[in-house]
Structure 1
Amino acid sequence: MGGYQSFGIIIPIFLTSFHILTLVSATHPLDPLTPFELTQVQTLVKKSHKNVTFHYVGLDDPPKSEVQSCLSSQNRPNNFLNCPRRAFVIARTNSRSHEITIDLSKNSILNDKVYNGNGYPMLNNEEQTEASELPLKYPPFKASIAKRGLNISEVMCEAFTIGWYGEMNTKRVVAIMCYYIDGTVNFYMRPIDGVMATVDLDEMKIVDYRD
């Protein structure tokens, strides 16, 4: 009976250890980044840049030859722990977009270049939320809401990209559209027509307002 009890204790310990191992290290060269690796990326980038925002973090896919080598029989006993792991990051700091490649195996930044082409990184949740809240504290917007006889506590706003139409010089801005909730779950059915704000995401302020 004691043997069965010991075996019953060993299984949960083994499963817990396996779960912790998979959180720390990938078990295949093409596995997504683990929570440990994501923290590693965040630490390295924040050491290199101040006031940085992350817009993409993912696995930098290794060349096919590296994957084939890692999948060969001679490497299998090592559970792929010796396979090179790299991460690719798109981040914003000082109004510039950075493309960063990180060697996770060596815990170092391999490449960090400023992107000067057309377009900007995707929006992240934090900046969308902050930009969407700006009109609610903006006096001209509050006056527009009062003029329509609406309760500003029932107003919510969302940020939308405005597109790129071939301009040489652009800023990273979004259009803010607002809606009136007033008890409905489908606020998209109640847009506040005629009102639009434009927010500069780098300066995080309203740069144009129309009513």
Structure 2
Amino acid sequence: MKLLHRPDLFCWSEFNTERNIDFHSIAWIRPEGNVLVDPLPLSEHNWTHLQSLGGAEWIVVTNSDHIRASLEIAEKTGAQIAAPGGEKDTFPIPVQRWLVDSDVVVPGLDSIALHGSKTPGELALVLEETTLITGDLVRAHQAGSLMLLPDGKLIDKSQAIASVRRLAQLSKIEAVLVGDGWQIFHDGHIRLQELLDIASLIITTK
């Protein structure tokens, strides 16, 4: 796994040839038990690395399209799975905890329920106020800038923009760790504001 901008954050990735971007998974290493977000399959090297760091206590799935290897890793580590409460009636795998807006996943990690994306109540996560972790709605197909999920996959673009507006109000965000694309390690709040400005301009000029 790759070390990120903090000594307690790691990432592993898989290149998607259809979109020409990387898909990412996040591991937050903490003494009370590690948290994985949207975990992809682990290579032997990454599995050994994760085990050396203490395995996993929780797996957070931001939306049903990001289940990935959650079940397999949960079975191997004994981790519990948390997922969006907005998908409770249709989520395809067993879940031990349903997360809704403003839930504390574990101390220091808070959930935000996003609306208008391709699944109800997609989760974003805020780590200790300064790191935002996103699933599908906010992504980065070009280095240095953020973008929305394409219009054709949105349930409601107005609601999606309202969700981005809320994220852009998180003034302490420095890093934005996206599930799909390029990670943002500096000036995350500014990049979110730029995304909001562009998305709002597009919808008002249509």
Pairwise TM-score range, normalised by the shorter structure = under 0.3
Greater RCO, 1 or 2 (C-alpha within 8 Å, sep 6+): 2
Please report the TM-score for the alignment, with normalisation by the length of structure 1.
0.25
Choose 1 or 2 for highest CA Rg: 1
Output the TM-score relative to the length of structure 2: 0.25
